[in-house]
Chains A and B, each alone.
Chain A
Amino acid sequence: MAEIIVVTSGKGGVGKTTTSASVACGLARRGKRVVVIDFDIGLRNLDLIMGCERRVVYDFVNVIQGDCTLRQALIKDKRLETLHVLAASQTRDKDALTAEGVKRVLDELIADGFDYILCDSPAGIEKGAHLAMYYADRAVVVVNPEVSSVRDSDRILGLLASKTQRAEQGNGGVKEHLLLTRYNPRRVASGEMMSVDDVKEILGLDVIGVVPESPDVLAASNAGVPVIFNDDSDASRAYDDAVARLLGESLPLRFLEEPKRGFFARIFGG
């Protein structure tokens, strides 16, 4: 049975699409059949991060409106056999996405035998974000260690607990996980940035991953190759750990401290 996972945050630009792409690749790399859906109607971006932007012929809204079949709209990843992308529409009509239409597409994907359906939510708490989370079994709430991001995540947690199918049916609700990203251990150590424990304590949620702030993320988006493929990157290792935890492994968190610096660097700073 497929599991539907929404990647959401409330606040914009915190790393949802980056996370959706890497987690989707990580799951597929472990042999799972995965589809990742861009719910950001009007602002298609996941295709760029996944590196398949030139292969988009049909999109999510085309499927909903019956312009094509689901099979025609699914873009098969060139690197991973079991990974598919469903691109967002670039229409400006926000009403193109309907609850009924989304449900039909999700049901068809489930019937098709996918193991994981990842929903990359748009920012905000409007219709797109609402529909991205509505049918979810699990949620990965992406948060930066920064006041507005944490507050917005808490609002999203409130919505997950009330405005989702699972919440309405009262069967245990959506399982929620926190993923901290753009984490800067040096600034945490100097007291300029909240720590994982601070954020965990405020939101009262289990942490599925901590991804460090890393220049490799920009390089990855430039290349259209999700950062998880960069074997030399701590961000890649952090995402791979998060994927393992999603699959039920228990691993200690890594990259919470800055790499050890030499004697002189410590004495003289810099």
Chain B
Amino acid sequence: MGLLALFRRTPSSASVAKERLRIIVAQERSARGGPDYLPLLRRELLQVIHKYVNVDPEAVQINLGQDEGHEVLELSVALPEKNRA
């Protein structure tokens, strides 16, 4: 534990709940009304990524959005600490 952690207040349990909900609700909303293959795509992408890096399912975010009238599939993968350059 770093010295800074001593001064940093641990987030309250309510704010942890809020943050978790913010993420899952956004994810579920973007999947809603979207193509049915999204959950399967997510699973298969995870498998592929897993061949190269050992990431947690949580680190992979797939969102369906809109950009200037186009549907955009956004994929973001947070790489684990040791794999960073």
Contact = CB atoms under 8 A, between A and B. Distances in A.
B48 interface: no
Given A158-B29, A158-B32, A191 B17 contact: no
Nearest to A188: B14
Nearest to A194: B14
Contacts of A191: 12-15
10 contacts: A147-B21, A151-B21, A188-B14, A190-B12, A191-B14, A191-B15, A194-B17, A194-B18, A195-B14, A202-B18
Interface of A: 146-147, 150-151, 154-155, 158, 162, 188, 190-195, 198, 201-203
Contacts of A146: 17
B17 A147 contact: yes
Contacts of A202: 18, 21-22, 25
B1 to A, nearest CB: 21
Where chain A touches its partner, the secondary structure class is helix
Interface in B1-24: 12-15, 17-18, 20-22, 24
A223 B15 CA distance: 38
Contacts of A190: 12
A200 to B, nearest CB: 11
Contact of B25 (A154, A192, A193, A195): A154
B48 to A, nearest CB: 28
Nearest to B31: A158
